[in-house]
Structure 1
Amino acid sequence: MDASLETQLRELLDKQAIHDLVNAYCNAADRHDHAKMRALYHEDAIDDHGHFARGPAMEFIDKLPEIQKPMAILHHNVTTVNLKLDGDRAEGEVYILAFHQVKHEGELFDVLIGGRYFDKYEKRAGLWKFSHRAIVADWCYPAHPTQVRLDHPFLHGAYIGEPGPADPSYAFFSLLKRGER
């Protein structure tokens, strides 16, 4: 294999590893899998989630159980991913649609956010992880009361997702495991 092709292959593999990292983050957030979330960041990483937390990512993850407590549904969807590699570091602008169903004062309301993650990644010991992540909101669509109807006849007999280890994915899959990247 010539050097040019080897360089292109390495870049392709690195970009795929970063895509996998970004997708694993969405899964960890939506399933409230804090062990998995912790494994996605370097120990000295920074996370900026606005009023929820700004600073060390591990402190943000420590706060996640309380932050997520009122959230009946979390559903993160990655759309456009722009990545730039520079050796063992990279930067990414990741577009997301994030749906939240939140319980407040006994009532459920919905918040759909269109935004982006501004990410910095580093590959250490051969593994890509977040070194810095910041959330940017581009728009927000709230609905009060909630418009979600999990009892709609169209969903009759379907698996219904939920946060935590009771989600049907954990019984269905044998390779995708809770707490693992």
Structure 2
Amino acid sequence: MDPGDEAVRALVARAEIEQVVLKYCRGVDRQDWNLVRSCYHADAVDNHGSFIGGPDSLVEWMQSRHASIDVCVHFVGNVLIDVHGDEAAVESYYMAYQELAPGGVAVKALTRDRETLEESATTGLQLRMLGRYVDWFERRDEVGWRIAHRQVVIESGHLESLIGQQDWNLFQRGDRTPNDHYKALQQRLRTARGVRQQLGASHEVQPQSGLPHA
């Protein structure tokens, strides 16, 4: 293979892999579980610490926990991607922030001491996490690049009460559904593309009857 072609392939692979990492984060934050599932190969294994299993079981576990998480935001920073053929080792640094509803499944799963558990029953908790996604990616012809194995690494985590938090109602609030503001922009973009394609088709020069065709 020409070195130039190989370099282009590697760049394309890195871009596609990073998109998968970002789609996973969006899927979790917006509770778009089909999007989360699409980031993994069907036989993949995810090790989240308190959960180890395949994509379907992962989604089921997440749905249960996130039913009592009112706010969830992931931010991905440094992404290191080492590609070799159809395989890649990927390390993505992340920050995650969550607001856990009072007395919910997520609070009970994360709270160990009785005092914090009793306080969170009425106030809820905020969770801040710093860590890394350490992923083994594989490119398979039928689906492209997806996660084959994920190890979630926690560098630091902090829980505290939601008492005294700022009222953010003056701002446009996000909601935890797939149909949020970004989805509306995507739909607008698809509509604009469709209109341009229709206009392009309508302006094509049609061959006149009786004239030779090239």
Q: Among the aligned pairs, what percent are the same residue?
A: 25
Q: Which amino acid aligns with 2:98?
A: H
Partner of 2:160: 143
Contact in 2 for aligned 1:160/1:168 (Cα 8 Å):
no
Q: Which runs of 5+ in 1 are unaligned?
A: none
What CA deviation, in whole Å up to 9, does each residue of 1:67-97 have, x standing for no partner?
1111111101000111111110111111000
Write the distance in 1 (CA, Å) between the matches of 2:189 and 2:128. 27
Partner of 1:15: 14
Is 2:83 the partner of 1:85? yes
When Rg is computed on C-alpha atoms for both structures, the one with the higher figure is 2
Contact in 2 for aligned 1:170/1:176 (Cα 8 Å):
no
Q: Which has the higher contact order (CA 8 A, sep 6+)?
A: 1
TM-score, normalising length: structure 1: 0.86
Partner of 2:181: 168
Which protein has the bigger helix share?
Answer: 2
- Spell out the pairing of 1:61-76 with structure 2 (5 A cutoff): 61-76=59-74
Which of 121, 125, 128 is equivalent to 2:145? 128
Aligned length: 171
Write the distance in 2 (CA, Å) between the matches of 1:60 and 1:148. 31
Contact in 2 for aligned 1:73/1:163 (Cα 8 Å):
yes
TM-score, normalising length: structure 2: 0.73
Write the distance in 2 (CA, Å) between the matches of 1:26 and 1:176. 22
Write the distance in 2 (CA, Å) between the matches of 1:148 and 1:76. 20
Which protein has the bigger strand share?
Answer: 1
Q: Which amino acid aligns with 1:135?
A: V
Write the distance in 2 (CA, Å) between the matches of 1:50 and 1:57. 15
Q: Which runs of 5+ in 2 are unaligned?
A: 104-121, 191-214
Q: What root-mean-square deviation, in Å, do the aligned CA atoms of Structure 1 and Structure 2 show?
A: 2.1
* Counterpart secondary structure, 1:161: coil
